[in-house]
Structure 1
Amino acid sequence: MTNNNDSLSKWFSGRPRWLQIAATRLLQQSELSDKDISDLATLCQQEADRKLPQTTCSFPATAFSQGAAGILRLCSISDVEGVNALAPKKPLEFGKGNITIVYGNNGSGKSGYVRLLKHVCGARETGALHHNVYKSSSAVQRASISFEQDGIPKTHTWSGQGICDDLGSVDIFDTSFGKVFVSSDDEVSYEPPVLSFFSSLIVACEKVASTLDAEANRHQSKKPNIPADKKVTPEGIWYEAIGAKTGHQDIDKNCTFSSVDESEIQTLEQRLTEQAPTEKAKQLRKQKQHIDTLIQDSQKHLKQLSDANFRRIIAAKKKSILKKTAADTAAEKVFSGSELEGIGSDVWKELWEAARNYSVTTAYKEAEYPNVSGDSRCVLCHQTLTQEAKERLISFENFVKGEMQKIATDAAKEYETAIQTIEEIPTSETLRARVDAAGIPQEEVASQVTDFFVQLRARKELLSEIDSEEAIPDPLLSPKWIEEAGAQSKHLGELAENYDEDAKRDNREEIKKKLNSLQARKWLSEHRAAIDDEVTRLKLLKQIQEGKKLTNTKALSQKKGELAEALITDAFVQRFNAELRALGASQVKVEIVKSRVSKGRVLHKLQLRGASQSDLSDVLSEGENRIVSIAAFLADVTGKSNQAPFVFDDPISSLDQTYEEAVVQRLIELSQDKQVIVFTHRLSLLGTVRHFAEKKTIKPDVVSIRSTDWGTGEPAHIPLSQSDIKSALNTLINQRYQDAKKASDNGEFQYAEILLKSMCSDFRSLVERSIENDLLCGVVQRFQRPVHTLKLKDLAKLKAPDCDLLDSLMTKYSGFEHSQPTESPVEMPKPDELLADMNALKSWREEYAKRAV
């Protein structure tokens, strides 16, 4: 890739932040899951609503970069934890040569190592890197990658995330590389990694947009229909026009409906039905007068029974008592010699005043009281007054008219006057009649009025019992019903004026409009919850629509078109065609041609050259698709200027022997300049690599891995079918035989028998390989197509004893390689017997190799 990654990183920094997050996820995994799309849709909405948390999510400058020019070599992978089932105790060494074959059976850990390298090196589609699914999950993922950069040893410790920038130039080919698919025009399209990355982003935008559409469809309107006659009111017009910008204040203004509004509705309805508005106005004013009178009387009684009035009356009472006591004391002195008791008392004073009244109005109208002249008589008993009686009456009158008595009398009158300032409190029956006349309909308010007057009456009755200010009870406060009654009085006055106005002119239409408007507001208040929900829904839909704008793919398509011009060049096309020829796929007649850019999806096409049928899915086989993908991969990566390793994961899968050999030869050719590491489970690939490497005087490094009790990925011995016969035979004699003998000496007979049986099977394979390579001089070998006819001359040294020896060994040990009937099991040779046979083969090989023709 020749694109300037700094420019690409800068371009991405100007994209919506949710798209930057999507790009980061796509760089970390091969594709976005349904959960990823759901998360991204949420982030998109949050960004549209300006609520997306500030996150650092820049486009990595090393993504799709060619890496720095220079020589890079992978050396080993060690200390692997938490990656698939990998649990090697020894490092996986890649050797010193430029081509390394990592062989292992299915399930031995090859894919685990490749996935690990993809994550560490930042491959285009890394995929998920799971823990061992058969064991309890560990929170730790780590590995140590040793490599050389321009001859300098380095080590990168990977801790489960992130990539190693120094290894960013490593190219990895597996089944996920080179997307080859059939387009809507039945044309197979290929995209290099960076363009495929943009295509994936465009797909992500479309999926997020679809998710947002689905979210919008989930929120269908539940807005109730307002009655038709209410739609023409200001409230109805507002209701029909509510939208995402409708605020709470606006909703409150149009949806608030109080008891006052309900009363006004009733009033307006009454006004419309009233046939005699003038008489109605009179009734309302009369009712208002009753309310006003009730309020005034209540306030009057409240004032009369105030603390200040109580204190004034109590003071007058105390003064009257005090002055009367003083007058009584004086009277006692005056009348101390009286023969009758009570002279000077209140009762006596009333009698005296009554006698006075009778004398001056009836008996002696012209004389002063008491009349003591001549033969005057007593006005009470009508007897003629004696001189003594006359003197007594005069003394009585002098007492009554005396200063002390006058003061006492004045004080008593003052107290009486104060008491009379408190008027009578209406009885409950009278009060009920007045409440009814005032038209107070609410039972609760009527009860408040009654209770208040009960309190007034009780307070008035307490006054006669109170002799000091300290005994005055807490004052009564103005009750709430007075305020409410005052509001009602005001309302009645206004209503009476309205009826007067109704009587003057015809304003029924105006009243109807006002009534309809109030009824519309009442309807809105009853559906307030639905209105709130609708506004919330509309705001959410607006947010979703704003989010959809952020999924527009135009900028991505344009950028992808620009990149296509830089990447899909004639040189790339030439490299692709050259790779097809090198891989022996010329007969496929596939060519790359430029195509249109439609939403960034198609940049160039793979098509059959000169074919009438364009449906490549019906033409190309699985193997042909594979070889085309390899050609596209090599055409891309060989354009780089650096010398970074190539890693291939089972590159010959689905290929026949012809393509397999072509791929192997191309890999060996690539290894002339760069390190090539191939992971495979096919022995045929291992043999083919060795064959063509030998022609180039290249010795490939072969590493074997296997599955163990503790996990996969453990380095192991090379399979006997591909290992050096001399080394393998020495291993059997010097190591494995000694292990079996030690187990037997220790009494571990069952384990010793297992080891011996395994040795017999492997020894039989070595005998078979010795026949191919030694006895028949390697003229024909398994897993290899060539027949080495020049070696036929060496067959002249072959003698009958040679055949007899090898035939006897093959016969003797074949039972350990092939299944045998249970009724005649193969007898296990003694350890010393097996050792003797192995030494016999070793001696024969040494002698046969030196034998002259």
Structure 2
Amino acid sequence: MTETKINTEADALRDVLAWSIERPAWQRDALRRLVAQGELADGDLAELTALCKDKTLAVQPLAEGDINAQQTGAPAVALKSIRGVQNVNALAEGQTLTFLPTGVTIVYGDNGAGKSGYVRILKRACRARTTRGKEETLLPNIYERQTGPQRADLEYCAGSQVQKAEWKNGEATDALLSEISVFDSRTANVHVEETNDLAYTPYPMKLLERLVNACKAVKQKLDEEIATIKAQTPKSISDPSCSASTATGALMEALSKNTKDEALDALATLTDEEIARFGELTSDFANDPKVTARRLRAQRHRLETLRSGLQTLALAIAPVNGARLAALTSDLATKKAAAVLAAQDLSKDEPLAGVGSETWRALWEAARAYSVAEAYPEKAFPHTDEAAHCVLCQQPLGENAAARLTRFETFVQDRTQQEAGSARQTLKDFREGLKGKAVPRVDFIEERQFLDDELGNTALAAAVRDFTVRAHWRLRAMLKANADVDIPAPSLAKCGLDTVIDALETRAGALLADDESEERKKLRSELDELKDRQWLSGIKDDVLAEIERLKSIAKLENALKDTRPNTITAKNTSLSEALITERLRARFAREIDHLNLAGLAIELTQAGSQHGVSRFKLSLIQSASRNAGDILSEGEYRCVALAGFMAELATNNSGSGIIFDDPVSSLDHLHREAIAGRLAEEGRTRQVIVFTHDLPFLFLLRNACTQVDDATQKTEIALRHVQKRQNRPGHCRNEAPDKAQSAAARLKTMRTHLANTRIQHDQDPDGTNWLIIARGLIDSLRQTWETAVEDAISPVLRTFASKVDTKGFAKLSAITQEDADTMRKHYGQCSVLLHKTSDAMSPSAPTPERIEEELDALETWLAGVTDRQSKIKP
């Protein structure tokens, strides 16, 4: 950024604007608010704190249009008029208020006449500083419906060019109007501090000082928010009951915004096996070690028995047994085929079919058993002697029958039949053997209950059940198919029986070991880990909430970095060096002298710094140790503030207009007269506009402008009057108020009014309208006689003047006894006429002709005195 030489307050403001671009966004928004409002309300601080915390929120940074500052090298700017006012307070519309481009324009208005409404417009359109709560809100007419924006038309001179501008409330006006300054002692650079020191702080420095205060206020809010968040941490988090040596303890010790939810979940979530293990270890260490060890070894023995049975089942369903079933089945089929062929040869000569078949063989074997056991126990089968009977039909055996029986037995005893029978028996025995390897259902149910209830190992119970069901399923399929099947054989090793059996023995051994043994310590460590993890699972939600709190605190602490005032105070210091120059000090001393502060000598001195912000003090030269704020009266303080304002104007080399709003409130006569003289002096070279409701000050200022001597020249002056008519304020007259007009001007006004209202008399000479008009004219006439007397003695003593002008004393010699008699006569006539129109039972108003006679008498008297006085040289 290119360095810009700072000569004036306006340069400093633009330098602050350029500097602010690199400041945090919330500070740029704060600067805009401070420029617009002067101070920050609680609502502003809350919004700025939110902006500081969240950089994604939209901000309105300070911009060129906000600073409303004069520009180096700008032409002198002076107001010409303000007109077209709409919807501002209750100001009358269609009015025009004009101003002298050079000289003093006094705008007089009684309280409630509307003068302040015009001042408020100009404060917003020109360069005026406001402070929240001290500048009245610019309201529309509360008694009427607003029909459009609050606006006014401004006409001004910029150098030799006449320009027009439209002012709308809340919108930027022409930048050149910022060259016109509005003085308000409430927001002046001179101010009384809490220590009662009278301090001087140029506005750009005051702006940065308030920004420092804003940083402190936002920091305080952030600190309070952090403290509030920290106070929400439960005792279970701030003082955890877990062991520092466990993984849970390590996590709690290192808990931060970066702690991952996954790490917390992994520790806080216990599996069913871990829960069971925790129960086991808790029980182990709670009971007599020897008793527990015996119980564990009994459980181990039962598990070993269960494992042995399951191993037998696992072997039964092994593929090799499936292959064995298939081989035995195949062998039986082969041998059966050979036996069938032999049977076919046997049965071909027999009367009945089926001889040699399986059914037939069963019948034959039954017959054999009956014969050997009961019919012929001592005879070989078949018994075919002559006395023998057939064991099947019980008939005596004939020769053919005996031969058949012998033939059948020979067939049965044949080798092929023997081999087929042997193969059949072998297959049967093998199948029965496999069936015997199955776990009985009753035993299966008991073992599951043991695993579930006594051992408490649900997972192992489920694994054993799964293995057993799958193994029985495969076994049934193998027996049904008499061969191996595609159903996979389950793995007994995957059930975890071996691990559980070993763990039981390990636990039993550890329980019986010494307390200081490694086995015992390992179990204790495992118990501690599980115990802390179970504790963590119970406060998991609190820990998650604490992580979120830590994240919030981290964001707030990061935001706190943007509240550090170091850079701001450094900028304030550099501005103080540029703005508080020897030229300013000298000009300030001169302005103090001009305002005649009762002999008090005040100088501008360096007063160190406070909170990093440079301070400049207005000290009493004769008593530097005393606080000027303790010594000066309210009126003197206002004069000092005005002196500071005039010194600033003198050092910024601007010849643009100045506007004063009631500059002499709370001042005594001497200070009013001093300020009147100073403003008249300033009006000789630039535009000075004074709004006042103080009639004595109006006369003092007018006298200061019109009185001349050898060392001074006359200041051009114009008087304007803002008044209320028919309860509507803001009516403008581009002339002095009646109370401030000369007798000649008031006579002219009355003649015009009489001519305009004569018709009321012509239409109804005894009517109320004419009575009111006549009464007003006679009352004004009497007051004008008083003004004429004041005008007659003005060469020596002016109204509200604090001194007698002896140079004009000779002019009083022009006033004769006849002048005095005439004045008393006609002044008395006014009283008589007023009495007739006010207090009589039947009031009668004077005719227009009668009133005109009295006007003529006053005009003649005034012309005579004025003419004679003009001929007398001082």
TM-score band, normalised by the shorter chain? 0.7 to 0.9
Contact 1:773 1:781 in 2 (8 A): no
Contact 2:113 2:730 in 1 (8 A): yes
Which amino acid in 2 is paired with 1:434? E
Counterparts of 1:647-796 in structure 2, within 5 Å, are: 647-695=659-707, 696-706=713-723, 712-716=729-733, 719-723=737-741, 724-735=745-756, 753=768, 757=772, 760-761=775-776, 763-773=778-788, 777-779=792-794, 782-785=799-802, 789-796=809-816
Output the CA distance in 1 between the equivalents of 2:351 and 2:495: 67
Q: Does 1:432 align with 2:449?
A: no
1:810 corresponds in structure 2 to 831
Change over 3 Å in CA distance of 1:776–1:101 after alignment to 2 = closer
Structure 1 window deviating more from structure 2 (418-427 vs 644-653): it is 418-427
Task: State which of 175, 189, 213 in structure 2 corresponds to 1:165.
Answer: 175
1:105 corresponds in structure 2 to 110
Output the CA distance in 2 between the equivalents of 1:676 and 1:156: 20
Change over 3 Å in CA distance of 1:794–1:424 after alignment to 2 = farther
Counterparts of 1:511-522 in structure 2, within 5 Å, are: 511-522=523-534
Change over 3 Å in CA distance of 1:126–1:791 after alignment to 2 = farther
Contact 1:285 1:496 in 2 (8 A): yes
Counterparts of 1:238-637 in structure 2, within 5 Å, are: 238-252=251-265, 255-272=268-285, 273=287, 274-275=289-290, 279=294, 282-289=297-304, 353-359=365-371, 376-386=388-398, 430-440=443-453, 486=495, 490-500=499-509, 506-507=517-518, 508-611=520-623, 614-637=626-649
2:4 corresponds in structure 1 to none
Contact 1:591 1:609 in 2 (8 A): yes
Q: Does 1:2 align with 2:14?
A: no
Output the CA distance in 1 between the equivalents of 2:296 and 2:634: 100
Contact 1:277 1:503 in 2 (8 A): no
Q: CA deviation at 1:379?
A: 0.9
Q: Does 1:156 align with 2:165?
A: yes
Output the CA distance in 2 between the equivalents of 1:44 and 1:246: 25
Output the CA distance in 1 between the equivalents of 2:657 and 2:487: 101
SS for the counterpart of 1:76 is strand
Change over 3 Å in CA distance of 1:613–1:603 after alignment to 2 = closer
SS for the counterpart of 1:384 is coil
Change over 3 Å in CA distance of 1:688–1:754 after alignment to 2 = farther
Q: Note the alpha carbon deviations across 1:592-619, whole angstroms, 9 max, x for none.
A: 2222123354532112232387143432
Structure 1 window deviating more from structure 2 (186-195 vs 537-546): it is 537-546
Output the CA distance in 2 between the equivalents of 1:301 and 1:770: 144
Contact 1:281 1:495 in 2 (8 A): yes
Contact 1:291 1:438 in 2 (8 A): no
2:872 corresponds in structure 1 to none
Q: Note the alpha carbon deviations across 1:97-154, whole angstroms, 9 max, x for none.
A: 5322222222344334333333333433364654348468899454433222112222
Output the CA distance in 2 between the equivalents of 1:707 and 1:478: 111
Structure 1 window deviating more from structure 2 (35-44 vs 93-102): it is 93-102
Q: CA deviation at 1:841?
A: 3.3
Task: State which of 178, 185, 203 in structure 1 corresponds to 2:188.
Answer: 178
Change over 3 Å in CA distance of 1:19–1:60 after alignment to 2 = farther
Structure 1 window deviating more from structure 2 (683-692 vs 435-444): it is 435-444
1:36 corresponds in structure 2 to 44
Q: Note the alpha carbon deviations across 1:804-851, whole angstroms, 9 max, x for none.
A: 2332213433798xxx8xxx6786544xx3533442333223333444
Task: State which of 233, 249, 265 in structure 2 corresponds to 1:236.
Answer: 249
SS for the counterpart of 1:14 is coil
SS for the counterpart of 2:596 is coil
Q: CA deviation at 1:627?
A: 0.9
Change over 3 Å in CA distance of 1:719–1:245 after alignment to 2 = same
Output the CA distance in 2 between the equivalents of 1:661 and 1:278: 112
SS for the counterpart of 1:168 is helix
Which amino acid in 1 is paired with 2:44? D
Contact 1:9 1:60 in 2 (8 A): no
Change over 3 Å in CA distance of 1:393–1:725 after alignment to 2 = farther
Change over 3 Å in CA distance of 1:584–1:829 after alignment to 2 = farther
Change over 3 Å in CA distance of 1:219–1:760 after alignment to 2 = farther
Q: Note the alpha carbon deviations across 1:226-259, whole angstroms, 9 max, x for none.
A: 4667245453354245345544455445544444
Contact 1:704 1:719 in 2 (8 A): yes
Output the CA distance in 2 between the equivalents of 1:101 and 1:829: 40
Contact 2:596 2:671 in 1 (8 A): yes
Counterparts of 1:36-115 in structure 2, within 5 Å, are: 36-46=44-54, 51=56, 57=62, 64-81=69-86, 83-86=88-91, 88-95=93-100, 98-115=103-120
Which amino acid in 1 is paired with 2:188? G
Output the CA distance in 2 between the equivalents of 1:107 and 1:292: 109
Structure 1 window deviating more from structure 2 (295-304 vs 687-696): it is 295-304
C-alpha root-mean-square deviation of aligned residues, in Å?
5.3
Change over 3 Å in CA distance of 1:427–1:204 after alignment to 2 = same
How many residue pairs match? The answer is: 801
SS for the counterpart of 2:722 is strand
Output the CA distance in 2 between the equivalents of 1:55 and 1:776: 59
Contact 2:104 2:718 in 1 (8 A): yes
Q: Note the alpha carbon deviations across 1:567-599, whole angstroms, 9 max, x for none.
A: 222221221121122222252332222221233
1:326 corresponds in structure 2 to none
Q: Note the alpha carbon deviations across 1:772-827, whole angstroms, 9 max, x for none.
A: 226962546644456664442342251645532332213433798xxx8xxx6786
Change over 3 Å in CA distance of 1:512–1:675 after alignment to 2 = same
Task: State which of 25, 29, 34 in structure 1 corresponds to 2:33.
Answer: 25
Q: Note the alpha carbon deviations across 1:659-681, whole angstroms, 9 max, x for none.
A: 11221221121112211111112
Output the CA distance in 2 between the equivalents of 1:209 and 1:397: 118
Q: CA deviation at 1:167?
A: 1.8
Contact 2:782 2:830 in 1 (8 A): yes
2:205 corresponds in structure 1 to 195
Q: CA deviation at 1:74?
A: 1.4
Output the CA distance in 2 between the equivalents of 1:735 and 1:704: 21
Which amino acid in 2 is paired with 1:151? S
Q: CA deviation at 1:33?
A: 0.9
Contact 1:290 1:438 in 2 (8 A): no
